């Protein structure tokens, strides 16, 4: 067997600390002014922001757990917790969207007076805080599904706050209180569209589907480039976490041994081109049928080793 392991990318812990701290402070301020102004819209948005703080805490906790070293019982450590957190974040966003839409529909039937001045001022502060904290997760949103979830949470909050400001301004000009729930429904639809992609990718990773960024045809081509390899079969690629992927495959070759330099080059190419850092290959000189241990002819290709980020 051949094993290849590399440490994970450093997690943006400082971004999570700032995001959680600033948003908790804003939730307290928004809820206070919501009570003082008698604004149900601000109180509802404060509840939505609180759910996003819980989502950020969930994602951060999963990233910390993913750095725990493997044990005899959990040989991959707790890497997969980041996938569960991404899935939980997507579900939490959907619940939040459902709550927002429900309240908006209810208020369509019974439009309530809105204290537009206070609402616009507090929501304006919310735009600044949520947009600033969302930018903290901008760079990592493509490589890590948890960071993408955090970014979507905060970007959605900024969008909600912007909608509240625009609705407040329009209501102040026209006196049409029904504009507030209409704008809220539109924002909820936008959040739903963004969240659906996160949910779909999270479910795929939880079901051990091939991560979207990995081209399986390229992976097969790289495996066939090994000297002497004539066939690739029993190929599996799956996500170990939201940032790490693993590969196992059986290779049929004329010789059971492959030069270590060729194997090292293959590992490097799969890591750099396909984002796969954990690679296990079994070499065979003939098809193994059902791939049982009595029919295959496995040979070790270099020493397996593990390196874990700390």
- Separation CA 93–CA 48 (nearest Å): 9
In which order are the strands placed within the sheet that holds 229-239? 229-239, 245-253, 278-284
User: Domain limits of the chain?
Assistant: 13-206, 209-310
Encode pLDDT of 86-118 as tens digits: 788 788 878 877 877 887 787 777 766 666 787
- Separation CA 145–CA 148 (nearest Å): 5
- Give mean pLDDT, residues 144-148: 72
Determine contact, residues 2/301, Cβ cutoff 8 Å: yes
Does this model's pTM top 0.75? My answer is: no
User: What pLDDT score was predicted for residue 247?
Assistant: 92
- Give mean pLDDT, residues 208-230: 85
User: What pLDDT score was predicted for residue 38?
Assistant: 63
CB atoms inside a 10 Å sphere around CB 147 = 26
If you ran DSSP here, which 8-state letter would residue 287 be given? Answer: -
Residue with more model confidence, 69 or 305: 69
Percent of the chain with pLDDT over 70: 79
Q: Is the pLDDT of residue 242 over 80?
A: no
Query: Of 74-78, 114-118, 230-234, which one has max mean pLDDT?
Result: 230-234
DSSP, residue by residue, 60-114: HHHHHHHTSPP-SS-TTTTTTHHHHHHHHHHHHHHHHHHHHHHHHHHHHHS----
- Give me 270's structure tokens: 């799969």
CB atoms inside a 10 Å sphere around CB 307 = 11
- Separation CA 50–CA 54 (nearest Å): 6
User: What pLDDT score was predicted for residue 307?
Assistant: 32
If you ran DSSP here, which 8-state letter would residue 256 be given? Answer: S
Please count the residues of the chain: 310
The SS3 call for residue 207 is coil
Residue with more model confidence, 299 or 115: 115
Pick the CATH number of 209-310 from 3.30.70.1350, 3.30.70.20, 3.90.320.10, 3.30.450.40: 3.30.70.1350
- Give mean pLDDT, residues 191-216: 83
Q: What's the CATH superfamily of 13-206?
A: Cation efflux protein transmembrane domain (1.20.1510.10)
């Amino acid at each position: 067997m051949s094993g290849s392991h590399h440490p994970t990318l450093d997690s943006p812990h400082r971004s999570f600390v700032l995001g959680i701290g600033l948003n908790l402070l804003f939730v307290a301020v928004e809820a206070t002014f919501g009570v003082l102004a008698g604004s149900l819209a601000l109180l509802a948005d404060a509840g939505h922001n609180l759910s996003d703080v819980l989502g950020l805490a969930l994602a951060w906790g999963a990233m910390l757990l993913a750095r725990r070293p493997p044990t005899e019982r959990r040989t991959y450590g707790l890497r997969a917790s980041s996938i569960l957190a991404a899935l939980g974040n997507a579900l939490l966003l959907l619940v939040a969207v459902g709550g927002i839409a429900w309240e908006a529909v209810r208020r369509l039937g019974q439009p309530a007076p809105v204290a537009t001045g206070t609402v616009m001022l507090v929501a304006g502060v919310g735009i600044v805080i949520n947009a600033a904290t969302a930018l903290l997760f901008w760079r990592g949103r493509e490589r890590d599904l948890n960071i993408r979830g955090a970014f979507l949470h905060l970007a959605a909050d900024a969008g909600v706050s912007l909608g509240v400001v625009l609705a407040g301004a329009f209501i102040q000009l026209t006196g049409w209180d029904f504009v507030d729930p209409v704008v809220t429904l539109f924002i909820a639809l936008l959040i739903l569209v963004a969240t659906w992609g996160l949910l779909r990718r999270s479910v795929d990773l939880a079901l051990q589907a091939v991560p979207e960024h990995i081209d399986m045809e390229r992976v097969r081509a790289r495996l066939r480039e090994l000297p002497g390899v004539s066939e690739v079969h029993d190929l599996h690629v799956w996500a170990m976490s939201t940032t790490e992927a693993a590969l196992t495959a059986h290779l049929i070759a004329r010789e059971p041994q492959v030069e270590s330099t060729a194997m090292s080059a293959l590992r490097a190419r799969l890591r750099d081109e396909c984002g796969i850092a954990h690679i296990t290959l079994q070499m065979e000189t003939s098809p193994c049928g059902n791939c049982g241990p009595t029919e295959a002819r496995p040979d070790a290709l270099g020493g397996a080793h593990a390196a874990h980020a700390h």
